[in-house]
């Protein structure tokens, strides 16, 4: 079998789909995307495919090595995201060729279903850049997830944060989490994502105020470049700490895993695809760290995550945004010929049995919805004095 060509599709809200074609008529799908940088990643995919075109798609690891290292310059968000999507598509082809789901090629299923969590949002649920956080909206969107049968939710309870902010702002954050905890009771797990908006000092100040809320984890209290701060953060609180969505390979995880974090969050569309995240998970296991694959993006990336989750022992829970997060439910599920395998039952997605990614992409629907230009970006936030603020 030989790879004969590929095609990229720019999709709303900020996704990029990749289709790889072969001379046997088998096609593979991947999602090579760095959100807000779709055109840059598309150009990187175009260059990376020089390593793959005309060659046997079954040699996944050989392609991975060539793509990652063959350009001499390596690493970073853009190149790793490009390789990630190609890697997903190659695994999809391999599974289809052999007539088995990808998890079978990774050693077989270690679980019968995977627990998922949903996002809740205090702003307009379709506008993830809205800096207003209304309790009424938080509870409304919490109820949407509970109605879906989910029993694990995540949200960001902070608005724009100064590196050291006021007592009022801290108390507002705690209050929002208290209201949601009161609303859902103790049967529902709550995770908080602070998007790196805290400093180390703010983390140490606010975590004791949140400990009574029994959170599943707090994610990205500080920005990813402060890996060395995580040990101090972990030692300052009993709350499990999660991070890793903005790290791109196993070497970047090495120091982080030693800090005592509880959960690593590699993204299968950023951190080298199924191949590399499988390795990151294995290294994490040696530190007794669980992984919760980051996936606030599209349906193909989620399908890749699920295949990995089914085969990987130390997966805690899977992120997904079907129905709430970055777009309406229809937008997400419309791209599958049959989306029923993605339906959550009592908070879990059941083991998929179809070959490759486990779900067939509806190419007609993808083609009809794809765009020539998609320049959607993350919002720009500013502090009161006009200076840049972390989103």
Q: Which helix (H) or strand (E) element contains residue 305? A: helix 299-311
Which of 229, 270, 294, 326 is the catalytic position? 294
Choose among 152, 210, 216: nearest CA to 177. 210
**Shortest reach from residue 217's CB to Mg ion, in Å:** 11
Pairing of strands 15-22, 3-11: antiparallel
Choose among 52, 46, 78: nearest CA to 65. 52
Respond yes or no: is residue 195 known to be catalytic. yes
| H-assigned helices in 73-134 | 77-98, 102-105
Nearer to Mg ion, 165 or 193 (CB): 193
- DSSP helix, strand, coil percent of the chain (3-state; round to 5): 40, 15, 45
Whole-angstrom Cα Rg for the chain: 20
Respond yes or no: is residue 270 known to be catalytic. no
**Shortest reach from residue 291's CB to Mg ion, in Å:** 14
Say whether residue 276 binds Mg ion (CB under 5 A).
Answer: no
Nearer to Mg ion, 252 or 362 (CB): 252
The site that binds Mg ion (CB under 5 A) totals a number of residues, namely 1
374 to 39, 335, 344, 346, 380: CA distances (angstroms): 8, 18, 30, 35, 17
**Shortest reach from residue 286's CB to Mg ion, in Å:** 24
**Shortest reach from residue 245's CB to Mg ion, in Å:** 5
Nearer to Mg ion, 89 or 152 (CB): 152
Nearer to Mg ion, 193 or 309 (CB): 193
Which of 195, 212, 229, 326 is the catalytic position? 195
Helix axes of 299-311 and 77-98: crossing angle, nearest 10 degrees: 70
Nearer to Mg ion, 149 or 224 (CB): 224
**Shortest reach from residue 325's CB to Mg ion, in Å:** 11
Residues 155-194 as x/- pattern, contact with Mg ion by CB under 5 A: --------------------------------------x-
Contact status, residue 86 vs residue 48, Cβ threshold 8 Å: yes
- The residues carrying an active-site annotation are 195, 294
Task: List interacting residues with Mg ion (CB under 5 A).
Answer: 193
């Amino acid at each position: 079998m030989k790879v004969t060509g590929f095609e990229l599709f720019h999709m709303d809200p900020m996704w990029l789909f990749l289709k790889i074609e072969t001379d046997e008529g088998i096609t593979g799908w991947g999602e090579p995307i760095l959100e807000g940088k779709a055109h840059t990643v598309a150009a990187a995919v175009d260059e990376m495919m020089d390593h793959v075109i005309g060659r046997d798609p079954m040699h996944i690891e050989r392609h991975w090595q060539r793509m990652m290292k063959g350009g001499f310059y390596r690493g970073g968000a853009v190149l790793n995201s490009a390789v990630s999507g190609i890697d997903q598509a190659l695994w999809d082809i391999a599974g289809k060729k052999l007539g088995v789901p990808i998890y079978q090629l990774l050693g077989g299923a270690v679980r019968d279903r995977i627990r998922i969590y949903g996002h809740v949002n205090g702003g307009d649920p379709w506008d993830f850049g809205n800096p207003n956080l209304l309790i009424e909206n938080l509870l409304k969107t919490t109820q949407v997830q509970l109605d879906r049968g989910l029993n694990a939710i995540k949200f960001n309870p902070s608005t724009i944060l100064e590196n050291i902010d006021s007592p009022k702002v801290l108390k507002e954050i705690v209050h929002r989490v208290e209201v949601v905890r009161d609303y859902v009771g103790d049967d529902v797990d709550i995770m908080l994502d602070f998007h790196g908006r805290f400093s180390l000092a703010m983390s140490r100040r606010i975590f004791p105020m949140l400990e009574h809320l029994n959170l599943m984890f707090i994610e990205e209290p500080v920005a990813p470049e402060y890996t060395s701060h995580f040990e101090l953060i972990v030692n300052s609180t009993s709350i499990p700490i999660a991070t890793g969505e903005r790290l791109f390979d196993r070497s970047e995880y090495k120091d982080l895993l030693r800090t005592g974090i509880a959960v690593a969050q590699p993204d299968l569309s950023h951190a080298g695809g199924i191949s590399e995240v499988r390795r990151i998970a294995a290294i994490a296991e040696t530190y007794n760290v669980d992984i919760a694959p980051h996936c606030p993006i599209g349906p193909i990336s989620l399908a890749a995550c699920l295949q990995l989750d089914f085969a990987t022992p130390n997966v805690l829970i899977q992120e997904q945004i079907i129905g709430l997060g970055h777009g309406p439910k229809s937008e997400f599920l419309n791209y599958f010929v049959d989306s029923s395998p993605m339906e959550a039952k009592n908070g879990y997605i059941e083991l998929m049995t179809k070959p490759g990614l486990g779900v067939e992409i509806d190419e007609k629907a993808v083609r009809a919805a794809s765009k020539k230009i998609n320049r959607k970006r993350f919002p720009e936030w500013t502090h009161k004095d006009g200076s840049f603020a972390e989103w």
